[in-house]
Each structure stands twice: as C-alpha cells, then as structure tokens.
Amino acid sequence: MLDHMRLDLLDPVEVSRLGGLELSTEGVVEGFLTGLHRSPKRGFSVEFAEYRMYQPGDELRYIDWKVLGRNDRLYVKQFEEETNLRAMIVLDASRSMAWTGSPDTLLTKLEYAKRLAAAIALVLLRQHDATGLITFDDEVRSVTPAKARMTHWRRLLKELNGLEPGHGTAAGPALARVVDLLRRRGLVVFISDLLLDRDAALKAFKFLRHRGHQVLVLHVMDPGEVTLEGLQEVRFEDPETREAVILRPRDWAGVYQKTVSRAVQAWRVACRSNGISYHCITSDTPFGLALREALASPSGVT
Amino acid sequence: MSFLHPWMLLGLGAAAIPIILHLIARRRPPTVIFPAVRYLVDTAREHQRRLRIRNLLLLLVRTALIVALMLAASGPSVPISGVPGHAPSALVVIVDNSVSSGAVAGGTAVGEPLRRAAAEVLSRATAEDALWLLTADGLARSGDRKTLTRVVDSLATSSMRLDLGAAIRQADAILAGEERPGEIFLITDLQRTAVSPAATQAPLVVVRPEGDVVSNVGVGSVATGTQPWQFDGGRLIVTIAGDADGPVALSVAVGGRPERQALAGPGAPVAVTVTGLTPGWWPVVVSVDPDELRADDRRVTAVRVAPVARVTWNPADLHLATAVQVLEADGRVRRGNEVTLGGLGRGLSVVFPPADPAEVGALNRALGRRGVAWRFGDPVNAAERSDSGALVGAVAVARRYRLERSTAGGTGVLATVGGDPWMVRDAGVVLLGSRLDPEWTELPLAAEFVPFVDALINRVARGEVALRQGTPGGTVLLPDRTTEVHSGERRWTVEGGAPFSPPATGLYYLVAGIDTMGVLAANVDVRESYLERAGDRAIRQLWHPARIIEPERARDVVFAAGARGDLRGPLLWLALALALVEVGLASLRKRES
C-alpha cells in the first residue's frame, strides 16, 4: 500500500499510524523525492555556478561547447565546490515539546519533530552527506556524530526512537557542542518550539554563522499554541517553569494571536538579518510540505 | 423623585445579575498545561489594562442597562421647574369660596383673584392629568380641565365655612388612591380661624392674596334665653363679632314689629328686651350697618311665646316636686291639669316606671289603651350614662327599664342610654326609663335638673323641641316626628331622624303634621367674621412642607413646584444608547476573538 501512497502529503497522524518511525519516514522521503523530481527545482549537490572566460590551464572538460558554437568564444563552466556536506540536526526534547492541544488528531511537537528530523537525515544521507544528531533539553541529552553511511540512519533512528521528553530548554550547550563536532563548514538544522532564551539562541546561531555554517531553524508549533480557544476562565500553566496565568481565552484570543504572530515575525526577521533560514511549521503540516519548505530554501540541502 | 409603579423597583435587583455571573465565572478556574505561557504573559502584560477596563466597562454598561430599564418601567418623575410640559399628575385644587372670601377690598371681592388663580392653574392641566375641585360645600368634583374651569368661573361666594385643614386631609385622601404623582393647590384668603392642622403626603402649594385685610363687624350671636317666653316677653342677648374698635349700632326686628336700636361694644354682649308678644313662633332679625363683608351683617333666630304649662305632680316624688316648686316660684309653671308628672293622667303626661315592679304590667296595659306605641320592658341594672343630647347631657343612670316599641311605626326617641331609648314621646305621653330619683339616676342631683324639668314640662310634654342652630350647608338631624320643613315659600318633605342641610341662611320651621314643633335657625359661622389671616410661618408649621405663593405665580408654579418631569423617555433613550455601547463592546471583543 505504501507504494501507491504519497506519505509525504498525508496527515502526520495518519502517517504515524502506518508504521514505525523507520517505515513511515522512508515512505515520506520516497514521496518527497518523487515529488521533487517532478519539480522544476530539481538539482544535485554539484551545482552549476557561473561562466568564466577560458584561461590557459583550465581543464578542457569544463569548456561549454554550445557557447563556443554560438559565439565562437571559449567559456568554462564553474560549479560550487563539490564536497560532501556535514550536517548536524539539533533537536529540542524539552518538556514543552511533549505537548499537543489535540491529542486525538495531532502528534505532539516532539513526535512531529522526531519524524521530521528522521526524514531530513534520510534525505541527507541519501545524498551521501554526513549527518549527525544532537538532542537536548536543559542540557545535552545525546550526541550522535555525523557519518555519511546509510547504515548510520539506523543509529539515528534508534536514538530518536528512544528519545523521551526532558525538562527545561537550554539550546546554548547543544549549539556549542555543534561547533566542536563540525570542524568544517556544514549545515545545522535546529528543530525546536523556540520556547527558550531567545537572545542566547540567536547569539549561538550567529556564532555558527560566523564559523561558516549554514543554519536552518525549524520552529515547530502546535496549532493550539497559535490560536486560543475556550469560553470559560482557565489557569494556564507552563509545564517547564510552572509559571501560570489566569484569563478567559474568549477575551484574549485576538490579542494573543497577534502576540504569537509578532513573536514569529521577530524570529524570522532576526534570523534572516543574520543569514539564517527560518521556517515556522505547525504540527498539522504534512511532512512532505515541511520538508519542501525546509530543504528547498537557499540554505537547504537539495 | 416619585414613581408611577414603585413596585417595579424590585426589578433593580436584576442589576446584580451581571456581577453575580462574573463572580461565578471567576470561581476556581481549571488548570490547563500550556507551553506557550510566555506568549500569554507577554499578551497580558501588554493588553491587560485595556482588557480589564473594557470588561469593567462592559460590566458597568450591562448593569446600567438593566437599571435604566427597571427605572423606566417604574415610571419615575422628578421636580422640574420652568418646563412647558409635565408628567401625568393628579391635582386637587381647593378653592376657598367660604363666607370670608366675599369680603370686598379695594372694590373687588377677595375671592375674585382666587378664582382667577384657580382658573389659570386648571388651564395648565392636560388630558392625562387627573383633576379634582374642592370648594366650601365640601364636594370633591372630578372632571376634565374644561368642566372644572366652568365650575370655577361660575363659583359664587358660599354662605358656608371651609375648614382648610379638613379640606387638605380630604384632598390627601383623594390622592392616596392615585398612582400618578399628586399635588394639592390650596387657593384661599388664609383666614386664621379656618386654619387647622393637617398632614399630607402630597406636595402642598398655598396661594394666598396679597394686601391688607379689611376690617369687619358682624353679628356674632343672638341668644333668646329660656323658652318659651311668656306673654310678658323676654330678653335677647346680642354679641358683636369682628374687629370693631368701638360701639356698634345694631337693629333688632321681632316679627313685623318696629325695629329696636341698640349699641353694642366689641366683646360686650348687649341685652334687648322684647315685650308684648302673642303666643306663637316669632322671627328675630338682628343686623348691623353694611360693611366690607355683608354675609355676617345679619343674623336670624326665633322665639317661642306660649303660656306656662299647668302641671300636676306627686309630692312623694321628692326631687321632682322640689324642682317643680322652684319653677312655680319663678313663674315657669302653674298648678293645673294640662300636664301630669309621674303617672298617666288624662292629658299630657310624663310617666316614670313605678317603684313597685308589680305595677309595670298594669301601666303598660294603660299605655296601650291610650294608643302609646311604647312599653316598659325588662329592668336593666347597670352603671351607664345617657348619651349627650340637646335635652339632657351625659348623666349617670344606675337603674332603668328598657323602653320597647309595641308597634313598628312608633318613633319619638328624645334621649338614649347605652344606645337604648331612655326618654320617648308618643300620643301626648312622655316615657322616662328611670325614675327621677338618685337611686335610679344622678340627674336629680345635677345643676341642669331644674332647666330639664322646665323643658320637660313646657316643651317636651307639649311636643315641641328646642330652637336648633345650624349653618348653611351644615347637617342637622331632624326631630323624630318631623314631616316637613319650610322656609318662606320653600318646603321640603322630610323623614323624622333624617339629616337636613339648610341651603342658605334663614329660619326653617320644623313641622309635625300640622303643628310647628320647632325652628332651625341657619346663620353663617361666627368664625367667618374674623378676617385676620394666618401668618406664613404658622402655616409652614401646621402644614409642613407647604409652599406659599401669590396668586399671580400660581400658573407658573402648578405642575412645577410639585410638578414632575417624566424620566421614562430619557431613561429609555439612555437604555438604547447603553445597548448600542454594549453591542459595540461585545462585537469588538468578538472580533478580537
């Protein structure tokens, strides 16, 4: 049945019910890559960059003969540096990630993020890019160094399968660990609900950029966090800090939504101004769409 | 502020509903785990003050909306001056057209500006107002503006007295049954003698004339002394009323005889001797020179001239015998057989119960043979008092026989004890329920005993009654046997014991069959002769909180002093505005949600 279905476009909950993390992720990636080949944005890791006038010493195989035939001039094609990418997926496994506003119809943010991370890892490994995984809550929970073998994906899956929600959120140590692990310039995929110290996180992102890494931030949100619903007065409690606030959702829904939008926009502006890719994804978004949005970006891997 | 439907104010309790709902909703809110509390905190920090103000405003608007609707339903009104319209009101206009209002000052009757003021007051009324008009005749006329204005325009000076306190109480009783806000407008010359205490719940406006009070002299009273007079005549005692500062010339006319002149000083009675009268009822007119108040310049009365009764009595009745001997010595009775005292004689008789109870049966049978409708009934031994009347005052009665009628038509009750007949007259026989003995009644020991015996012999036994005094419009109970009343050419067929109201001053002859049994002299109340006005301070103390104004201001003050502005319209507009605000606030919140 999986052969006939585009799992990447199914509802995440439906996908999770089809099988384990490995099976469902493979289905998602297969669907995603199939769709990608049909897309005009196809491409590979060795990308054409620009033409340059031929100079003595250049390899003849890079001369563009069609241009020579039309213009009677020698041009050579230049490509991006052809090298295997080293990527590190940094996954937030704090307690706030283990929440969903609709347990019957939505995955928790953590379950969604685990599947998304697995799918990204599979895409990268299929491109022979070395991929690693760091999980964290208020401290670094696990570190899996980047490797390019496909068998490495099983290890990553094992790590993700055994991942349980932790306590608070502190991204700094995890990102510092990335610096240690990625000696060469690489790709950092940061998957989190971003309910953390914003300034500290941005500072770490900037440092990574300074070190030449591409940074992709995937902001996972539950739809219940975007819109506030309910008539009666409720005491809302933060699962990590136990901070609480009492209010009537009906009265606050409008202004709350504006606050959330403003916070997302602030992340987006802060990231873009520092050359960081930022994508806000709700946990009801099909994985294929999330992957397309994340990986088809300028800092993406495809 | 007053209310048309004050019970609707109970609905104001509904104003607490929004607050109660708010408090109920605030109790023990459930806890929900929510990771994005930081966004809520940021939102609350930024918008809490505005949302709190808006919610508070919404709560206030809803509460005010309910209050406005409930207040509007209760029909409130408030005093508003200087506005052309007014809320539907109940107005009682008291126009004092009593005798004193006929006094002329500056060529105009005092009552004239008062009537004009009354007409102007009524002209401010609308079809939604309830109107009453009270005048000196005591009638409360209800009607619309035009009807009552016509009554006021045709109102003449009455020969009756108006007790202002009683009129206010009557007006207050009228307004007590009204749901509309009420007001009493008293338009009067504010004569001091007409003022009496009164309490009223409704606003009271007193309109009284400006200017000095004119002086007045009137005939205060004419006393005729003990009647009947003998052929040698009698004396009239005349007093002058008013504020005369010197002797006043007065004229006395008895029947058609030439007038007698006399001088009477203020407060000093003058005696006028009248002689040479033949038997019968003689009209007496005492008058003074005309002055500013004509109604009290003349007073009428009557005297009865008759020979003294010839009487037989039993010397064994010690106290009665003593009284008769005194009267005989004074020439008020003579010995003879015209009237028999103590037992049943051939002619007129005054019968007491026998000392021996065994003789009561024989006496009753004898009374029956004489055609007397009354009998001696069961003996009553109880400490009682006679009911105070014209013939005898309140005297103690220890023993008596109950007087019972043997036929349905018998009347003629002259005095009662404990509600039972005690002295009756029928078929020329007077029956007394008690013997005139101190063991039966204290009357023989009282100072009034001799005059009582005089009246009993000379008038009661003869079937006559005392001269009755009355005032025009006042009520007088007619003697039991009266069948007709006539005065000049006018005649009234009446029933004995019924009330009779003389329409004007003059003499009214009380007739039983073909016999004139008495005279009712109707004269203006002597208190009307004193025109001095009550002071504003005294009025405010007696009729707190009265507002006193001049006639010229009456039109402006009516429905303005007590006059109310109807708040229902403004309150409904306010409720509509509040409802719109509520809808606006609620939709704003909904839109934000």
Domain containing B395 — which CATH number? 3.40.50
Whether B519 maps to a domain, the answer reads yes
Please indicate, yes or no, whether residues B134 and B173 belong to a single structural domain of this protein. yes
B37 and A238 within 8 Å at the Cβ level: the answer is yes
The continuous run of DSSP H or E covering B223 comes out as: strand B217-223
Whether B84 maps to a domain, the answer reads no
Domain boundary among B503, B527, B551: B527
By mean pLDDT, which of A95-104, B49-58, B62-71, B364-373 is the weakest? Answer: B49-58
Strand runs (DSSP E) across B96-181, as ranges?
A: 104-105, 108-109, 130-134, 140-142
DSSP string, B540-569: HHHTSSEEEE-GGGHHHHTTTSS-EEE-HH
Please indicate, yes or no, whether residues B155 and B249 belong to a single structural domain of this protein. no
Domain boundary among B460, B479, B504: B460
Strand runs (DSSP E) across B265-395, as ranges?
A: 270-274, 280-288, 298-305, 309-312, 333-335, 339-342, 348-351, 374-385
By mean pLDDT, which of A65-69, A81-85, A123-127, B30-34 is the weakest? Answer: A81-85
Whether B168 maps to a domain, the answer reads yes
A133-181 pLDDT, tens digit each: 998 888 888 889 888 888 888 898 888 888 888 887 777 777 878 777 7
Does the beta carbon of B45 lie under 8 angstroms from any beta carbon of chain A? no
Q: Is B194 exposed, middle or buried (0-12, 13-18, 19+ CB in 10 A)?
A: buried
Number of domains observed in the structure of chain B: 4
pLDDT at position B76 is 81
**Contacts of B498 by beta carbon, 8 Å cutoff, 6+ apart:** B477, B478
Whether B408 maps to a domain, the answer reads yes
CB B577 within 8 A of CB B64: no
* Chain A residues with a Cβ under 8 Å from any Cβ in chain B: 95-97, 99, 193, 195, 222, 225, 228, 232-241, 243-248, 250-256, 258-260, 263
Please indicate, yes or no, whether residues B498 and B586 belong to a single structural domain of this protein. no
- Which amino acid makes up residue A111? E
Alpha-carbon gap, residue B443 to A248, rounded angstroms? 95
Decide if pLDDT at A114 tops 80.
Answer: yes
Alpha-carbon gap, residue B189 to B108, rounded angstroms? 13
Decide if pLDDT at A3 tops 60.
Answer: no
Q: How many inter-chain contacts (A to B, CB under 8 Å) are there?
A: 95
Decide if pLDDT at B86 tops 80.
Answer: no
pLDDT at position B152 is 92
**Contacts of B284 by beta carbon, 8 Å cutoff, 6+ apart:** B222, B224, B236, B252, B253, B254, B274, B300, B301, B302, B303
Cis peptide preceding B545, ω within 30 of 0: yes
Please indicate, yes or no, whether residues B198 and B97 belong to a single structural domain of this protein. yes
Q: Determine the distance in angstroms separating the CA of A17 from the nearest CA of chain B, rounded to an integer.
A: 25
**Contacts of A198 by beta carbon, 8 Å cutoff, 6+ apart:** A266, A267, A270
pLDDT at position B544 is 78
Decide if pLDDT at B210 tops 60.
Answer: yes
pLDDT at position B561 is 46
Long-range contacts made by residues B102-106, C-beta under 8 angstroms, separation at least 24?
A: B102/B157, B102/B293, B102/B294, B102/B295, B103/B189, B103/B214, B103/B216, B103/B292, B103/B293, B103/B531, B104/B214, B104/B292, B104/B293, B105/B211, B105/B212, B105/B213, B105/B214, B105/B292, B106/B211
CATH number at residue B191: 3.40.50.410
Domain boundary among B437, B460, B483: B460
Residue of higher predicted confidence among B273 and B106: B273
Alpha-carbon gap, residue B343 to B366, rounded angstroms? 11
Residue of higher predicted confidence among B8 and B389: B8
Confidence of residue A37 (pLDDT cuts 50, 70, 90): very low
CATH classification for the domain delimited by A84-295, as one of 3.40.50.2000, 1.10.1530.10, 3.40.50.410, 3.90.550.10: 3.40.50.410
Degrees to nearest 5, angle at CA B538 with B532 and B540: 130
Does the beta carbon of B493 lie under 8 angstroms from any beta carbon of chain A? no
B549-585 pLDDT, tens digit each: 888 888 887 876 445 667 888 889 999 999 998 888 8
CB B357 within 8 A of CB B350: no
A255 and B43 within 8 Å at the Cβ level: the answer is yes
B589 and A250 within 8 Å at the Cβ level: the answer is yes
pLDDT at position B301 is 94
Local structure of residue B420 (DSSP, 8 states): E
Confidence of residue A43 (pLDDT cuts 50, 70, 90): very low
pLDDT at position B278 is 86
Whether B523 maps to a domain, the answer reads yes
Degrees to nearest 5, angle at CA B217 with B214 and B223: 155
Confidence of residue B92 (pLDDT cuts 50, 70, 90): very high
Please indicate, yes or no, whether residues B323 and B447 belong to a single structural domain of this protein. yes
- Which amino acid makes up residue B69? L
Whether B81 maps to a domain, the answer reads no
Place of tokens 């309150």: B571
pLDDT at position A40 is 36
Average pLDDT of chain B to the nearest whole number:
86
Domain ranges of chain A: 48-79, 84-295
Does the beta carbon of B40 lie under 8 angstroms from any beta carbon of chain A? yes
Decide if pLDDT at A44 tops 60.
Answer: no
First to last CA, chain A: 28
Count of CB atoms situated within 10 Å of the CB of A274: 15
CATH number at residue B295: 2.60.40.10
Alpha-carbon gap, residue B332 to B335, rounded angstroms? 11
Percent of chain B with pLDDT over 70: 94
Interface test with B, best of A169, A232, A237, A256 (most B CBs within 10 A): A256
Alpha-carbon gap, residue B447 to B430, rounded angstroms? 22
A225-272 pLDDT, tens digit each: 888 887 778 888 988 888 888 888 887 888 888 899 999 999 999 999
Please indicate, yes or no, whether residues B445 and B314 belong to a single structural domain of this protein. yes
Residue B518's domain spans which residues? 217-306+466-527
Please indicate, yes or no, whether residues B323 and B302 belong to a single structural domain of this protein. no
Mean of pLDDT values over A42-71: 71
B420-445 pLDDT, tens digit each: 899 988 888 999 999 999 999 999 99
Alpha-carbon gap, residue A10 to B458, rounded angstroms? 133
Q: Determine the distance in angstroms separating the CA of B580 from the nearest CA of chain A, rounded to an integer.
A: 19
Whether B80 maps to a domain, the answer reads no
Whether B85 maps to a domain, the answer reads no
pLDDT at position A300 is 44
With contacts defined as CB-CB under 8 Å, which chain A residues touch B55? 251
Please indicate, yes or no, whether residues B550 and B520 belong to a single structural domain of this protein. no
Task: Name the residue among A96, A225, A246 with its Cβ closest to that of B29.
Answer: A246
First to last CA, chain B: 43
Please indicate, yes or no, whether residues B227 and B275 belong to a single structural domain of this protein. yes
Percent of chain A with pLDDT over 70: 79
pTM for the model:
0.51
Mean of pLDDT values over A263-285: 91
pLDDT at position A22 is 63
Please indicate, yes or no, whether residues B424 and B558 belong to a single structural domain of this protein. no
B10-40 pLDDT, tens digit each: 888 887 887 887 777 666 788 888 888 888 8
Decide if pLDDT at B311 tops 80.
Answer: yes
With contacts defined as CB-CB under 8 Å, which chain A residues touch B51? 251-252, 255
Strand runs (DSSP E) across chain A, as ranges?
A: 48-53, 75-79, 86-92, 130-136, 140-147, 187-192, 214-221, 234-237, 244-247, 277-282
Q: Which of A20, A1, A38 is nearest to A288 (CA)?
A: A38
Please indicate, yes or no, whether residues B354 and B411 belong to a single structural domain of this protein. yes
CB B152 within 8 A of CB B115: yes
pLDDT at position A2 is 45
Q: Look up residue B252 and give its two tokens.
A: 């006395």
Decide if pLDDT at B523 tops 90.
Answer: yes
